[in-house]
Amino acid sequence: MRTLLLLMICLALSGSAALAQDARKIMDAVYKQDTSRDATWRGTMDVYDKKGTLRRKKFTFRKLGGLGNSKTLVRFNDPAEVRGVGLLSLNERGVADRQWMYTPAIQRTRRIAAQERRQRFLGTDFTNEDMAERVLDDYTYKLLGEGEMVDGRKTYKIEARPVSPEKSQYAYVYLWVPVDVPYTVMAEMYDKNGQRQRVLKAGELVKISNIWVAKRVEMNTPTEGTKTILLLEDIRFNTGLKEDGFTQQALEKPDA
């Protein structure tokens, strides 16, 4: 079960407040807190390379459906080089994800093949694995501690280990979930050598339509000195998006 879209990680890692002591229960709450039927927002994605050069892209994001059974459509609108480029991805439980990209310059939609896990997704700090939609059962969890302050919030520190280690580039992931908000506000991903590969920070938590969401997500790659910052605006849930907005025909209409 994978999905393409950047924001998914935020959503996947978000969750509602739960005071459970059990790590799995804490995470279950995180996974379950997003109860939306659909979501829409505008995003700004800033990618900094190791020299600190910034590449900014703006896009709109639409999602229909919930965890494990969703459709998303991302449409870039800035800068000019990528205006109109669309990404459509269909996640269905039990079926391999299907993804398409539409490029207006050659007016073509093409299938995106399954990519390697460790590969950066479109040059961002998110790897393809990071972009994949996950479910609770993909990991086993262990509560490592309680009380560490992140962004002014007291958090649980949880260790998550992939159930199928051979399918992951990470050996283990540390997650920080505030004791009062069911949302992953920080994550550190470690490889098999115990090297910290990625650091994710989700900040500016807001509650919209009773759903927690981070308006700023930052992914760091400490080993390479690059980072990607995602800023969300105009977040709306349950606006009544229709199925036909998530088809190849829809993908090929950049102005719609």
Partner 1 sequence: MMLSSLASITWKQWRQHRLRTALTLLGIALGVAVYFAVRTANVTLLSSLTITIEKMAGKATLQIVGDEGGFPEAIWETVKDTPGVHIAQPVIEVLANTAFEDEGSLMIVGVDMLGDRELREYQFDEAGEEIADPLVALAQPDSIMISRKFAEKHQLKDGDKLPLFTAQGKKEFVVRGIFKPAGLGEIFDGQIAVMDVFNAQFVFNRGRNIDRIDLMNESGVSVDELQQRLRTRLPAGLEIGPPSSRGKGIENSVAAMKIGMTITSFIALLVGVFIIFNSFSIAVNQRWKEIGILRALGVERPNVQCMFLVEAALMGMLGSAVGIGLGFFLAIGAERVMSQIAAQLFSYVTTQQPPVFRWDYAVTSFVIGVISSVIGAWLPARAAARLNPVLALHNIETRQSENVLGKPRIIAGILLVLTGWALIAFGPASVGLSLQFSYSVLIIFGLVLLLPALAALTARALRPLMDRLFGSEGVIAVDSMIQSPRRTSATVGALMIGLSFVFSMGAYVRSYQKTVSDWMDRIVNADIIINTSENARSRTNHFSEDLGKTLAAIPGVRRVENIRFLFLPYADDSVALIALDMDGWFARVKDVVEGADEDEVKDKIIRGEGVLVARNFVARYHLGVGDRLRFQTPTGPFDFPILGVIEDYTSEKGAVFFERELYKRYWNDPAVDIIDVMVTPGAEVATVKQAVTRAVKGQHRAFIYTNAEYKKFIMDLINGFFVLNYMQMTVAIIIAALGIVNTLIISVAERKRELGVLRAIGGLRSQVRKMILLEAAAIAIVGVLSGTLAGVFNTYFLVRTAAHMIGGFTIPFRFPLTIVLVALPVALGIALLAAWWPARKAVNLKVVEAIGYE
Establish if 54 lies at the interface with partner 1 (CB under 8 A). Answer: no
Is 116 or 233 the residue whose CB approaches partner 1 more closely?
Answer: 116
Residues 147-206 that bind partner 1 (CB under 8 A): none
Given 115, 117, 236, 245, the residue binding partner 1 (CB under 8 A)? 115
Residues 67-106: x where in contact with partner 1 by CB under 8 A, - otherwise, as a string:
---------x--x-xx--x---------------x-xxxx
Smallest CA-to-CA distance from 135 within 35, 28, 26, 62 is with 28
Q: Binding of partner 1 at residue 111 (CB under 8 A)?
A: yes
- Closer CB to partner 1, residue 37 or residue 108? 108
C-alpha torsion angle, residues 127, 221, 25, 216 (rounded to 10):
-90
CB of 51 to partner 1, least distance (A): 10
Q: Which residues bind partner 1 (CB under 8 A)?
A: 47, 49, 55, 57, 76, 79, 81-82, 85, 101, 103-106, 108, 110-116, 119, 122-123
